[in-house]
Structure 1
């Protein structure tokens, strides 16, 4: 992934240097993405240190005990846990931190890791519609349509509930049911106690404060995540300073994201904008919303959902709020088929490979296609019904 990130940035800079990407277009991309990168860097540092404070391990251990050996109960709890993490700490953080926690829980209780891994990656993507913080595309959309965190949640709660339900059904049918998971019951783990209770409580409170701040504080989201990250960093500086390293900063993402935006913006300037304008149209009825969502989902799996959203946003007329939100649904829920469709999926594959978990690619693509279609349809249908 290091090579891919550097190659994308180098390609983007080359396109800018040769004039293939106009300077004004690159400036617009930089203006829109700079706050996103600030948010991404700070929230991942906060979440990484929160993970090292064993907040997620305590939660995962509690989930396995509350499940009491029942796969059905464990399944419901894992769906809630993964959904809440994606909603509050964003999909990339969920992929980076929750994946190893889920895989560690699978090893501790002796169950197959793939159902837990798929729960993480699918819900990281599909449970990312509700709040601006949940997905970088949401930050762009909320800015475009002028919605606060509460306003976006009020508009997207029904699509979010619908797609989480669709995801749960697909997860159970294709990964968790008896014929797929390979066991009837599991043995719950013993209570997990954090090594440093003070650090654990500080980081847990910082995460809770971050959630409250994004809902009520009248400041940019990157400022909320920066404040929470500073609290966590100071706590580690006082308790475990050896844990603070530059490697905590997600350098690969900070290199890859600008590169992707520059490359796709070049394609956008040279015809993608026209193609998207014709493909999505301008209708805001049910047919138009499903059409826009389908375009977003399909193109995200060909390219990547972040730059695709930015390109598609410019093709939506200014007053068409619901059309833009339908396109947002497509770019958030749809990127489940190809491994490169979202950064969260790329990060998830890397974590699975590091943990030695094999993900059959054909099965990943096939089941992802089923959920991409049903999940996008369910969320868009809910958006239509609540319009």
Structure 2
């Protein structure tokens, strides 16, 4: 259990810190300002607007985690789509799909990445050098599928809305943006992730308290999520010690493309049956090599696109869509997600070997 605590505490600390950072960035108007600028720069061109959204969604996912894209970016871009009289489903699917398929590149992009980093004892640069081909492939395929599926939406012209959205306090917004940028740089150059994120969260709180203390009222802290993740880690660890590790010891996947494809497929399938976090923890004993570890991440990060419970980000995203009045049928979601998963998971996994 001591080893479990050593893995769990940094993950839980990171989850707490990133929730605070992302929430304060949203409260100071960062995401609303970005959406407003995208709308004004596009001048009614849906392809230009959507291209900007793709860049922002990937950046938010990579540097602030997939939950940030699902929870904080989704509502502002849906409001922008409705303001411009554009089918909001393109924007909704862009957010939820890139939140998942775009969460491979950095350890901070997804909790599964942090768990993988702790199990392999590798650095952020090692992680990045190993996973980048799959991350790039997954993002490119996702964007391509979105462009084909929503080609009619991309062919229309939206209503030009020149009403500017000014932040309540530009200095606070700039300060929060600088903290996020500094955190991203620190993580890329190899800083200890949980410590760097907690320091950044503390700086965000101090800055907000100095400039506008009212923004700290009822600041949502992810206590339930942290408790859920902690309990999940304990349950799966007990199951591994009692049954799973001994059972998986009978199997040894080959450190090859075939073994990687099998593990990635298992990860995607189990994620859609239960959830991607317990799916990763369950299958982790099979990821005995760096290639297999990366392939498992492809499956559990880019694969949970079919069922609404496959990732917490999707459930949170669905709630934001309902609040915005955007109806997404789960049958439609599953069929579209099945097609994307069937393309992304094997091709992103194969890319790990084509470049290595």
TM-score, structure 1 length as denominator? 0.86
Over aligned residue pairs, what C-alpha RMSD do you find? 2.0
- The alignment partner of 2:286 has SS state of coil
Structure 1 segments unaligned to the other structure (5+ residues): 1-23
Query: May I ask how many residue pairs the two structures share in their alignment?
Result: 355
2:334 matched to 1:361? no
Other-structure match for 1:156? 131
| Partner in structure 2 of residue 45 of structure 1 | 20
CA contact (8 A) 1:50 1:56 kept: yes
1:32 matched to 2:3: no
Cα displacement (A) at 1:271: 4.1
Cα distance in structure 2, aligned partners of 1:200 and 1:147: 34
Partner of 1:233: 205
CA distance in 2, matches of 1:210, 1:332: 23
Q: Is the 8 A contact 2:100 2:301 kept in 1?
A: yes
Pick aligned residue for 2:300 from 301, 313, 331: 331
Query: Where does residue 141 of structure 1 map in the other structure?
Result: 116
Cα drift, residue 217 of structure 1:
4.8
Q: Determine the C-alpha separation between the residues in 1 that align with 2:257 and 2:186.
A: 35
Which residue number in structure 1 is paired with residue 64 of structure 2?
Answer: 89
Preserved contact between residue 82 and residue 123 of structure 1 (Cα < 8 Å): yes
> 158, 166, 169: which is aligned to 1:196?
169
Q: How does 1:1-80 map to 2 (within 5 A)?
A: 24=1, 28-80=3-55
Provide the residue aligned with 2:258 in structure 1.
287
**2:91 is equivalent to residue 116 of structure 1:** yes
Contact 2:147 2:154 in 1 (8 A): no
Residue 370 of structure 1 and its aligned partner are, at CA, apart by 1.0
Q: 1 CA distance for matches of 2:238 and 2:321?
A: 33
The Cα of 1:42 is off from its aligned counterpart by 0.8
Residues 108-139 of structure 1: CA deviation (Å, up to 9, x unaligned) = 22222221111101000100111111111111
Structure 2 length as normaliser, TM-score? 0.93
Is the contact between residue 265 and residue 307 of structure 1 (CA under 8 Å) also seen in structure 2? no
1:40-62 alpha-carbon deviations (Å, 9 max, x no partner): 11111111110111111121122
Partner of 1:177: 151
Structure 2's unaligned 5+ residue stretches are none
Where does residue 372 of structure 1 map in the other structure? 341
* In 1: Cα distance, 2:167 partner to 2:128 partner: 33
